[in-house]
Amino acid sequence: MIRSRIFSRALRGPLYFQVRTYTSQPLREILYAFDPVTATSAPGHSDHLSFLNPSAVSEREEFQHVNPIRPATRGVPWPTSFPGALESRYWAEAEEVARHFAQTALTDNLPKGENTKYLDAAVDSAVSFAVYATPMGGLARMKILAKAYVLLFMHDDSANRGYYVLAKEVLSEGSPAIGQRLLDGILSWASQTTKSRPDHFSSLEDYMAHRVEDVGAYPIFRTVEFACGVHLSQAYVHALYHLQSLCAKHFLLTNDLYSYAKEAVAEQTNGKPLFNAVRVVQDLMCVSVPSAKAILRYAIRDMEQSIGQEYKRLVETKPNPSQLVFARGLVAAIAGNIFFSATSGRT
Q: Which of 10-24, 42-56, 120-134, 264-278 has the lowest mean pLDDT?
A: 10-24
Q: Residue 269's pLDDT is what?
A: 86
Q: What mean pLDDT is predicted for residues 227-248?
A: 92
Q: Which of 160-164, 308-312, 327-331 has the lowest mean pLDDT?
A: 160-164
The answer on pLDDT for 195 being more than 90 is: no
Distance separating alpha carbons of residues 120 and 99, to the nearest angstrom: 8
By 3-state DSSP, what share of the chain in percent is helix, strand and coil, each rounded to 5? 60, 0, 35
Identify which has the larger pLDDT, 155 or 293: 293
CB of 21 within 8 A of CB of 93? yes
**DSSP bridge partners of 231:** none
Alpha-carbon Rg for the chain in angstroms: 19
**DSSP bridge partners of 86:** 68
Cis preceding linkage at 5, omega within 30: yes
174 C-beta neighbours (distance < 10 Å), count: 16
pTM: 0.84
The answer on pLDDT for 101 being more than 70 is: yes
> Which domains, and CATH codes, for the chain?
47-343 (1.10.600.10)
- The candidate with the shortest Cα–Cα distance to 116, out of 30, 10, 8, is 8
The answer on pLDDT for 183 being more than 80 is: no
Q: Residue 43's pLDDT is what?
A: 73
Distance separating alpha carbons of residues 30 and 40, to the nearest angstrom: 23
Q: What mean pLDDT is predicted for residues 101-128?
A: 73
